[in-house]
């Protein structure tokens, strides 16, 4: 698995991308490795927090040897249960992401991309912020106003928008003009075909 990630990262750079983002969030395999209810391994990749974080950290170390740590980012989603991933003890969750942020800081990666949610305690945000000195990116459900507030108070260095751009191809223009936004059509979100991608209205 580690070598597959390394190959994919090398191919991305060869294809002209500026860097790669490892998806350690939203119930995918790297988040599964962090979760004690799913990761039941008994070797060096399972058990305590350090071992459960090992897979993600080992992948980053190997990728960094090939493309450079400055071209690597990681997305995480503390307290997420997306994809039926089970929640685990709050104290252990906080310790997991505090440890992970500290180790990612030592590895010198470009950024951590946090999928925000009301379920994440402020304590967790503060621990990640204090343990990681490079760029923090926040996403998920942000409005222009809440995004600006995160930048202003220093809790985020950058903000990202996903669904807002899908539903509003002219998202930036709408912000500039203080125009209303299209609602997201969740029935066609991330489904095949043009519906939900190219059929949203744009400003005249």
Q: How confident is the model at residue 194 (pLDDT cuts 50, 70, 90)?
A: confident
- Would 13 be classed as within a structural domain? yes
- Would 156 be classed as within a structural domain? no
pLDDT tens for residues 42-62? 999 999 999 999 999 999 999
Average pLDDT over residues 153-158: 94
Annotated active-site residue in 28, 45, 88, 197: 28
Average pLDDT over residues 158-184: 94
At a CB cut-off of 8 Å and minimum separation 6, what does 74 contact?
Answer: 21, 22, 24, 56, 60, 104, 109, 111, 112, 113
Known active-site residue 138:
no
Residue 196: pLDDT over 90: no
Residue 114: pLDDT over 90: yes
Average pLDDT over residues 130-137: 97
Average predicted confidence (pLDDT) for the chain: 95
125 in the same domain as 93: yes
Q: Looking at residue 191, what is its pLDDT?
A: 86
Q: Looking at residue 195, what is its pLDDT?
A: 86
Q: Are 55 and 45 in contact (CB under 8 A)?
A: yes
118 in the same domain as 202: no
Residue 138: pLDDT over 90: yes
Q: Looking at residue 37, what is its pLDDT?
A: 96
Q: List the CATH number of the domain containing 77.
A: 3.20.20.70
Provide the angle, in degrees to the nearest 10, between the axes of the packed helices 90-107 and 49-67.
20
Domain total in the chain? 2
């Amino acid at each position: 698995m580690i070598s597959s990630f390394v190959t994919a990262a090398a191919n991305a750079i060869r294809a002209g991308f500026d860097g790669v983002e490892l998806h350690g969030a939203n119930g995918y395999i790297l988040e599964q490795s962090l979760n004690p209810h799913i990761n039941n391994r008994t070797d060096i990749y399972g058990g305590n927090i350090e071992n459960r974080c090992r897979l993600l950290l080992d992948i980053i170390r190997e990728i960094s040897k090939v493309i450079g740590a400055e071209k690597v980012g990681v997305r995480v989603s503390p307290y997420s249960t997306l994809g039926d991933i089970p929640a685990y003890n709050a104290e252990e969750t906080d310790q997991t992401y505090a440890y992970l942020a500290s180790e990612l800081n030592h590895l010198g990666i470009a950024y951590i991309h946090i999928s925000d949610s009301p379920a994440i305690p402020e304590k967790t945000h503060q621990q990640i912020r204090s343990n990681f000195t490079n760029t923090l990116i926040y996403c998920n459900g942000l409005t222009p106003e809440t995004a600006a507030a995160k930048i202003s108070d220093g809790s985020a260095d950058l903000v990202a928008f996903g669904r807002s751009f899908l539903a509003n191809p002219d998202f930036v223009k709408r912000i500039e003009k203080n125009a209303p936004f299209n609602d997201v059509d969740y029935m066609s979100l991330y489904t095949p075909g043009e519906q939900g991608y190219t059929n949203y209205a744009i400003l005249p």
